[in-house]
Structure 1
Amino acid sequence: MGIYLCVTMSLSLSDSHSMRYYETTVSAPGSGLPVYSEVGYVDDREITNYNSDTRQRLPKTEWMKKLEPEYWERNTQIGQGNEAVGKHNVQVAMQRFNQTGGIHSFQYMYGCELRDDGSTAGYHQYGYDGRDLLYLDTQSGLYIPAMHEAQITTQRWNSPEERVGERHKNYLQNICTEWLKRHINNGREDLERRVRPEVKVWGRQHPDGVTRLQCLAYGFHPRLVDVKWVRNGEDHIPSDEASPILPHPDGTYQTRVSVEVPTREGDTYSCHVDHSSLEETLTVTWDPNAESKDKMYIVIAVVVTLAIVIAAGIGVIVWRRCSGKRAAARIYAPAPNKEENSSNSSNSQEISA
């Protein structure tokens, strides 16, 4: 079962950092995912993982393993509490939508950013079956419903008696950013390493007078990159196909951008790549007379397909917020932990029945 969740946040090709946690609960076994799972990220690095199969909070990087044992014991207990809340919430959501069967998913995402200009931002969102349910306006501390079925919960959480948003706003502005700073300090060598992209270009001329050009950028870190095709050194050609930025097992990334252009004499085409590891734009020109590298392209296709299959297998979620309040960014699926909560209590919140 493919679950996708597109999230929003703003990052630049610089030294901004983010910490994000994702929780996903499914209503019944059989989806290919644990019934409950949490995943934590700093930037694009998975740092912690908890799910209903292991029932333990586990470190996912060498520098996270150096944290004290009490940290993992405390956050395992928090994960177990979050699991109970998640299972409650998915059942309540099914009641709200008048659903009695099938496999449904309840999602929760929260996190914070430290931008390169010193400013900060936070986000706190809930979703159901891949759609927005409600989210926190981090300026006012009030929850905003994204669909009618969230009205009851929104009214309750925004009431003077509950003031749920105020607590989470304080967490995002203070506790979350302090933990992000600590993680950045512990994992700086890993998080801020710069690896230059390698670039390969090729094309195929078709009988109908059209040439399809491909540009593959791979082996780069960090993840953010800008890849585009240019005609005659100055005219940007909008892409008609761009693959997601996919991870390699070694922690680097790859992406591929394709365009179709008229086959005609005199025009030159080049792929331009901008990345934080580069002092200037990397430009690779396509030579139509170069020898074909069919075997290489087959290997590339296999690598891309394998990466997509692996991503789907671990339950990648893409949660699309069309609101202008947040900018798009790719994120993972399982779910977050509340390890960074100084009160040692769960950030998960039960929705009212």
Structure 2
Amino acid sequence: MVPVLLSLPLLLGHAVPQETQAGPYSLTFLYTGVSRPSKVLPRFQATAFLNDQAFFHYDSEGRKAEPLGPWSQVEGMGDWEKESQLQKAREEIFLVTLKDIMDYHKDSRGSHTFQGMFGCDIQNNRSSGAFWRYAYDGQDFIEFNKEIPAWVPLDPAALNTKKKWEAEKVYVQRAKAYLEQECPEILQRYLNHSRTHLDQQDPPSVSVTSHVAPGRNRTLKCLAYDFYPQRIGLRWTRAGKVQETKAGGEILPSGNGTYQSWVVVGVPPEDRAPYLCLVEHSGLAQPLTVPWNGRQKARAEGKLGTPQ
């Protein structure tokens, strides 16, 4: 057996690199196989992502690769019938590998999971990184090092997988070529049809709220929401100095294709100095400053929520 994808024809064939914007852009494939499927978790599923946006999905129930979201309306993204056949072949190889690992551990009880993730990035029209790795039951299993090049086992059972995947030298060379050449070329081709969606810039709405619990410091919360892309700078300042936050900082999906994030800072009762929430995002022409000054008034250029 050879690694998933290596013995299979590329869906798009040879892709000619096209001029792109600076980026960064990424193409990522995520595969999951389970030994005991359920109503909510099929035996095998595959999802492809452009940046953080899923653009097609396949699973062992429907056995059809189907474009998602705005890509269902985009012509030229791919031959979905051919993609479906490709994913069926990958499903078979993937599940055989899962069985091999379970046989090594001599454990057929319970439910076991095998996951694979691989992809590449481009920045300024050039390849800027690539990866290919697998995990078993949530633990690192094996990964490809394209500098050696070789499959590097991260689990004792992966030694057997390495032997199978490196049975012929050509398999290793093809893995290296895929990550360094073919994957970036495919990503470039996808960008010809999808850059408009990936380059969308939705500036954040911002809300500043305060809360006082009896006998405790005042809590100020700065919430940014409905923004895309997900990278954002969000922090509290006082007298020009960045304040240490007591909670927040995570960037979470909002469920509608945008993101939200927040930061929380504690203010002693005697402290009446103005606090500023500084928001930096690519959708803003300039950083947005939203103050809390004891009267809970917000003055800033941008899209603001109503402080409470």
TM-score range, shorter chain: 0.7 to 0.9
Query: Match of 1:276?
Result: 282
Over residues 298-330 of structure 1, what are the superposed CA-to-partner deviations in whole Å (9 max), with x where a residue is unaligned? 9xxxxxxxxxxxxxxxxxxxxxxxxxxxxxxxx
* Structure with a larger share of its residues in strand: 2
TM-aligned CA distance change 1:81 to 1:119, over 3 Å = closer
Q: Which deviates further from its counterpart, 177-186 or 56-65? A: 56-65
Query: Match of 1:248?
Result: 255
Query: Match of 2:200?
Result: 193
Correspondences of 1:228-307 after superposition (within 5 Å): 228-249=235-256, 251-290=257-296
Which of 71, 88, 93 is the equivalent residue of 2:101? Answer: 93
Distance in 2, matches of 1:141 and 1:106, equals: 23
Conservation of the 8 A alpha-carbon contact between 1:112 and 1:121: yes
SS in 1 for 2:200: coil
Conservation of the 8 A alpha-carbon contact between 2:121 and 2:184: yes
Conservation of the 8 A alpha-carbon contact between 2:120 and 2:127: no
Query: How far did residue 120 of structure 1 move?
Result: 2.2
Query: How far did residue 108 of structure 1 move?
Result: 0.4
Q: Which deviates further from its counterpart, 207-216 or 166-175? A: 207-216
Distance in 1, matches of 2:37 and 2:97, equals: 16
Query: How far did residue 190 of structure 1 move?
Result: 1.1
TM-aligned CA distance change 1:147 to 1:286, over 3 Å = farther
Which of 43, 55, 73 is the equivalent residue of 1:47? Answer: 55
SS in 1 for 2:126: coil
| Letter paired with 1:140 | I
Structure 1: 5+ residue runs without aligned partners?
1-13, 299-353
| Letter paired with 1:44 | D
TM-aligned CA distance change 1:102 to 1:261, over 3 Å = farther
| Letter paired with 2:205 | E
Conservation of the 8 A alpha-carbon contact between 2:209 and 2:221: yes
Query: How far did residue 157 of structure 1 move?
Result: 3.0
Q: Which has the higher contact order (CA 8 A, sep 6+)?
A: 1
Over residues 63-104 of structure 1, what are the superposed CA-to-partner deviations in whole Å (9 max), with x where a residue is unaligned? 455445971111100111111122212222222333221111
Query: How far did residue 170 of structure 1 move?
Result: 0.5
Query: Match of 1:154?
Result: 162
Query: Match of 1:172?
Result: 179
| Letter paired with 2:36 | A
Q: Which deviates further from its counterpart, 107-116 or 212-221? A: 212-221
Query: Match of 1:341?
Result: none
The TM-score with structure 1 as length reference comes to 0.72
Query: How far did residue 17 of structure 1 move?
Result: 0.3
Distance in 1, matches of 2:121 and 2:26, equals: 4
Distance in 2, matches of 1:110 and 1:286, equals: 45
Query: Match of 2:303?
Result: none
| Letter paired with 2:33 | T
Query: How far did residue 163 of structure 1 move?
Result: 4.8
SS in 1 for 2:131: strand
Distance in 2, matches of 1:79 and 1:34, equals: 14
Query: Match of 2:42?
Result: 34
Query: Match of 1:227?
Result: 234
Query: How far did residue 21 of structure 1 move?
Result: 0.5
Query: How far did residue 155 of structure 1 move?
Result: 4.1
* Matched-pair identity in %: 28
TM-aligned CA distance change 1:262 to 1:171, over 3 Å = same
Conservation of the 8 A alpha-carbon contact between 2:23 and 2:123: yes
SS in 2 for 1:148: coil
| Letter paired with 2:133 | Q
SS in 2 for 1:237: coil
Query: How far did residue 244 of structure 1 move?
Result: 3.6
Q: Which deviates further from its counterpart, 58-67 or 27-36? A: 58-67
| Letter paired with 1:200 | S
Structure 2: 5+ residue runs without aligned partners?
1-21, 298-305
Conservation of the 8 A alpha-carbon contact between 2:31 and 2:115: yes
Conservation of the 8 A alpha-carbon contact between 1:229 and 1:239: no
Residues paired across the two proteins, number: 279
| Letter paired with 1:232 | A
The reply to whether residue 109 of structure 1 matches residue 117 of structure 2 is: yes
SS in 1 for 2:157: helix
Which structure's CA Rg is the greater one?
Answer: 2
The TM-score with structure 2 as length reference comes to 0.81
